[in-house]
A = this chain, B = another copy of it.
Amino acid sequence: MRVISYQKDGKSGVGVVIGDNDVIALSDVAPELPGSLKAILEVDPGLDKVRAASDGKAPSFLMDDVLLDPVIPEPIAIWAMALNFHTHVEETGLTTSDKFPHIFLRHAGGHVGSGQPLMCPDPEIARAYDYEGEMAIIIGKSGRHIPKDKALDHIAGFSVYNEGSVREFQGHNRQFGLGKNFEKSASFGPWLMTPDEFGDPYVQSIRTSLNGVVRQDECLDGSIFRMDELIHYISTGYKLRAGDVIVCGTPGAKKPDANDKAAQVDAHFDDAVQYAGRVHMTPGDICEVEITGLGTLSNPVEADIPPVYTIY
């Protein structure tokens, strides 16, 4: 089952996707359920009520006719993994513990849904704005001290995440801080896919394309700490909550072809981190992150507002 958070006629809703483009609105078939996916997971962590209510029902509208929100628009916590693929560790030359996952946090203010524009910083602010294709886990059942062999019971589903990063700011200090949390710099979607439909993530691949050229392409099997270890580790200290998100890390870039000028190491950005094969995102680009068997998160890249004082 695939579940989306959407906006239609200025109102937010939750729906079940059928086939390529049909959506059953939960407000039509299960009006007794809460109006947000996070609130639904709090009462229905395995989405059993959603499944029962939507089974065999007629579609309400086409997915193309709504705006997709981030799958969970307002998670309490977004736990993101640094350096969780061997290939990414190698390309950065950085070190990381082999005993503990390398964790930083993002907040929901930096997210957009699939199809919505990612914001590229103004060149006066930063010029090294990078995609990072990743798998996201969405927690259903809340828990603490979750053993590895029970971890999968706490997963409501999986999604795709583009963990957009502003390298100059990421490098301002040891903690990533603002560099991983620019306005609308990351995307999360298009849907939550339940574990029964997705199956084993570690036989699937992440493929990130920029303007149709594949820039990352690796089996999830290349990740260092697996979902059961991440859930176990985080829940050692924190009560994982319904709607919380764990973003599982990005693979290294593909080795660039000799004639692929855009993907050669480009050292003209002061203070910027760049790896061979990684190409910065700029306005007008389309960035797509596919996880095979799960779906494709696609976002146009637009110029962020100019660096002029703006009150909202």
Q: What is A's interface to B at a CB cutoff of 8 Å?
A: 76-79, 82, 96-97, 99-110, 121, 125-126, 141-147, 150, 166, 169, 172-179, 181-183, 185, 233-234, 236-239, 241, 305, 307-312
Contacts and interface: CB of A to CB of B under 8 A. Distances in A.
Given A110-B238, A143-B311, A183-B238, 6 more contacts: A100-B172, A101-B173, A109-B238, A141-B312, A144-B305, A178-B233
A105 B181 contact: yes
Nearest to A94: B174
Nearest to A310: B144
A104 B177 contact: yes
A241 B107 CA distance: 12
Copies of this chain per assembly = 2
A106 B238 CA distance: 12
A102 B108 CA distance: 20
Contacts of A102: 172-175, 177
Contact of A312 (B143, B150, B178, B181): B143
Given A178-B233, A236-B307, A238-B178, A97 B172 contact: yes
Contacts of A236: 125, 178, 307
A291 to B, nearest CB: 24
**Helix, strand, loop or mixed for chain A's interface?**
loop
Contacts of A82: 173-175
> Which 6 A-B pairs rank lowest in CB-CB distance, beginning with the nearest?
A103-B177, A100-B172, A142-B312, A105-B105, A102-B173, A77-B107
